[in-house]
Amino acid sequence: MASLDSAPADSFFSGDAWDWWQARRLRYNLTLAAGGWVCYGLAVGLNYAFGHPVWKDWRGGLGMTIFLGTVFLVVMGVANVCYLLGPAVEGWIKPADVDSYRKNAFAMGLWGSLLVPAIFPLVQLGMLIAHSR
């Protein structure tokens, strides 16, 4: 079975587009992981700031962190599958200004991916404000 790295030269994901997007995948994943940790910290901090402790002891905190970390790894896996839209759309639309397309598409995909974990503390903030009245 062939992988995308060993695909024939005339395949859809071959060439410069695949190399460009793959060269930025580690940066994408590290940024997404950092964003997840920041949002988790914000959510915990918001709960404590509003006087609602998230867990009773360190065991609860450890268990919750491991569980949510595992769930976030699954979310990152889905985000990496969606990351393939970058070279796929580039192959479909064949933009005239490839460099501009790549920079804009990468930025939109990265910020869109960072919005997903940011929803968690934003919703939590709304719930904490609603319950504090």
Tell me the C-alpha distance between 128 and 42, whole Å.
Answer: 13
Judge if pTM exceeds 0.85. Answer: no
| CA distances (Å), origin 81, targets 48, 65, 91, 122 | 35, 24, 16, 25
pLDDT tens digits, one per residue of 99-120: 999 999 999 999 999 999 999 9
Percent of the chain with pLDDT over 90: 78
Q: Where are the domains of the chain?
A: 29-131
pLDDT tens digits, one per residue of 33-72: 999 999 999 999 999 999 988 888 999 999 999 999 999 9
| CA distances (Å), origin 26, targets 23, 108, 126 | 7, 16, 33
Average pLDDT, the chain: 89
DSSP-assigned states of every residue in 48-86: HHTT--S-SSHHHHHHHHHHHHHHHHHHHHHHHHHHTHH
Return the amino acid letter for 46: L
Q: Are 32 and 75 in contact (CB under 8 A)?
A: no
Sign of the alpha-carbon dihedral angle for 125, 126, 127, 131 = positive
pLDDT tens digits, one per residue of 5-42: 554 455 566 678 999 999 999 999 999 999 999 999 99
pLDDT of residue 5: 55
